[in-house]
Amino acid sequence: MSGDSELCRLEASELAKRIADRDVSAVEVAQAHLDRIAALDTAYHAFLHVDVDGALAQAKRVDAGEVEGPLAGVPLALKDVIVTRGVPTTAGSRILEGWLPPYDATIVERMRDAGIVVLGKTNMDEFAMGSSTEHSGYGAAHNPWDLDRTPGGSGGGSAAAVAGFLAPLGIGTDTGGSIRQPAAVTGTVGIKPTYGGVSRYGLIAFSSSLDQAGPCARTVLDAALLHEVIAGHDSRDSTSIDAPVPPVVDAARDGDVSGMRIGVVKEFAGDGYQSGVTARFDEAVATLAGLGAEVIEVSCPHFDYALAAYYLIAPSEASSNLARYDAMRYGLRVGDDGEASAEAVMAATREAGFGAEVKRRIILGTYALSAGYYDAYYGQAQKVRTLIKRDFESAFEQVDVLVSPTTPTTAFKLGERVDDPLSMYLADLCTIPSNLYGGPAMSVPCGLSDDGLPVGFQVMAPVLADDRLYRVGAALEQALGTAALLDEVWRRDHAATS
């Protein structure tokens, strides 16, 4: 590896400062990360495409002073569900293999304008449907803590890249927990912003009323700095909120929770929660109380129905969104012998291009939307969604934020749940309600379980109160010292590559 490999250990904010001060060039920083990817990603499989030329070209622009910003020159790993002009974008699916988008997503435009260096596109469950990255059409990603375990999903590639020091920053998307759950099991920080707080223009759709892109990082401040870059109104996205971006960076630098009311969700405890996860969560809550926060137990009774409602709403929207992959306009085309009908080509292409989990959800969604079943399934699920929103609204009349474990267990072994969809879906038990509500939520590390694997602490806030997440996250990070949690991963991998 490059002699500059120690640069890969630095936080994004520190890297940005050194680049701005001309202590190191953006090209040197980009090359150090590209070298580390070359050395380690055969084991992690975090990336589906590494854009060496594009990354170095952007780094040169930063060094030439053509672009600037608080994260100028800092490398980033981009989930492969965000379209990037001229760069392969697959959404983890064989049906889009080799597709080169003709435009950039708004997120990509904003990062380019801010001087962020995109290293490449990261591995993910196909069309963001999964909780382990095992449903990727290109092979599973691996957790830097233990290569036999999942880095979570669907955004396991971005989380693995950040946890493995292949990039200090990442972008994920969160439909039912796909930023927060990978963050929890890799010991990183992941945020689902308020729905509509970050533009969805150029985000390949899974479930349009739930999908939201957000930052992944190794520290709360780094996540806040990235959040501020990508957030804000976008007229090209009809769901974008025309409101000021919450003061997330100031909140991350403050980290004062004295006087805050912290609501512990009563329903997120009991059977199914790993003892080490519960222990670290309870310790984190006690830490917040020791910092001056008031802890209150809150009941959100309809959260128990969130998983069932989600797995009717999300597949229903997916069945509509994925109808565009018809072999006629772009992407894979199979079975066209010059005589086959359009219907036959479409069927053959979808059979070859879609994986088993995507087919399962399309079938579920199509059934739920079909004549005679719409009211019984999709309509009822939307009523439950309304009840869950009311639970949040009632809770936020009593407290400033809600907290829970991010996921009931630490990282499970690859292959352990892949043939048991319900067991896989339970990984998102705690994260799904925030997507149904539309409010922001964060996972921040709160220590290691008895098995030596990271535990995530989830913070949920009202719509457009994203800054509250960062206050709580920063307070915990400082008090528990979790910013150093990944040092173990660094030392092991650095010794192996030196």
Is residue 394 part of the annotated active site? The answer reads: no
Angstrom distances, CA of residue 408 to CA of 194, 258, 359: 23, 28, 27
- ∠ CA(342), CA(343), CA(344), 5° rounding? 90
Angstrom distances, CA of residue 373 to CA of 367, 377, 436: 7, 6, 21
Chain mean pLDDT for the chain: 95
Q: 272, exposed or middle or buried, with CB in 10 Å at 0-12, 13-18, 19+?
A: exposed
What is the model's pLDDT at position 15? 98
- Asked whether the beta carbons of 110 and 156 are under 8 A apart, the reply is no
Token pair recorded at residue 216? 């992944």
pLDDT classification of 1: cutoffs 50, 70, 90 = very low
Average pLDDT of span 271-282: 96
Q: 233, exposed or middle or buried, with CB in 10 Å at 0-12, 13-18, 19+?
A: middle
What is the model's pLDDT at position 240? 98
Token pair recorded at residue 453? 């694997």
- ∠ CA(360), CA(361), CA(362), 5° rounding? 95
Query: What DSSP designation does 458 have?
Result: E
Q: Determine how many CB atoms are found less than 10 A away from the CB of residue 161.
A: 38
| 455/468 Cα distance (integer angstroms) | 21
Angstrom distances, CA of residue 109 to CA of 85, 114, 196, 436, 496: 10, 9, 17, 28, 37
Q: 338, exposed or middle or buried, with CB in 10 Å at 0-12, 13-18, 19+?
A: exposed
What is the model's pLDDT at position 330? 82
Catalytic residue among 5, 13, 178, 316: 178
Q: Determine how many CB atoms are found less than 10 A away from the CB of residue 418.
A: 18
pLDDT higher than threshold 50 for residue 3: no
Catalytic residue among 131, 154, 199, 434: 154
Measured in residues, the chain has a length of 498
β-pairing verdict for 169-173 and 75-79 = parallel
What is the model's pLDDT at position 2? 44
What is the model's pLDDT at position 249? 98
User: How is the beta sheet containing 47-50 ordered, strand by strand?
Assistant: 47-50, 117-122, 75-79, 169-173, 213-217, 189-192, 441-448, 454-460, 401-405, 261-265, 294-298
Q: Which residues contact 99 (CB under 8 A, 6 or more apart)?
A: 88, 89, 90, 330, 331
Average pLDDT of span 451-459: 97
Average pLDDT of span 117-139: 97
Query: Where do the structural domains in the chain lie, given as residue ranges?
Result: 5-302+387-497
The structural architecture, per CATH, of the domain 5-302+387-497 is: Alpha-Beta Complex (3.90)
What is the model's pLDDT at position 493? 76
- Residue (of 99, 112, 81, 329) closest to 202 by Cα position: 81
Least confident of 72-86, 154-168, 341-355: 341-355
| 149/182 Cα distance (integer angstroms) | 12
- Asked whether the beta carbons of 114 and 72 are under 8 A apart, the reply is yes
pLDDT classification of 421: cutoffs 50, 70, 90 = confident
- Residue (of 89, 153, 155, 82) closest to 116 by Cα position: 82
Q: What is the pLDDT of residues 170-226, one digit of tens each?
A: 999 999 999 999 999 999 999 999 999 999 999 999 999 999 999 999 999 999 999
**């910013």: which residue's tokens?**
483
Q: Determine how many CB atoms are found less than 10 A away from the CB of residue 417.
A: 19
Angstrom distances, CA of residue 353 to CA of 207, 314, 316, 349: 19, 20, 20, 6
Q: What is the pLDDT of residues 12-68, one digit of tens each?
A: 999 999 999 999 999 999 999 999 999 999 999 999 999 999 999 999 999 999 999
pLDDT classification of 494: cutoffs 50, 70, 90 = low
What is the model's pLDDT at position 325? 92
Q: Percent of the chain having pLDDT more than 70?
A: 98
Whole-angstrom Cα Rg for the chain: 21
What is the model's pLDDT at position 346? 87
Average pLDDT of span 484-498: 81
Is residue 13 part of the annotated active site? The answer reads: no
Q: Percent of the chain having pLDDT more than 90?
A: 89
- Asked whether the beta carbons of 84 and 118 are under 8 A apart, the reply is yes
Is residue 383 part of the annotated active site? The answer reads: no
What is the model's pLDDT at position 327? 86
Catalytic residue among 5, 13, 79, 93: 79
pLDDT classification of 300: cutoffs 50, 70, 90 = very high
Peptide bond into 154 cis (omega under 30): yes
Q: How far is CA 493 from its chain centroid?
A: 24
pTM for this one? 0.96
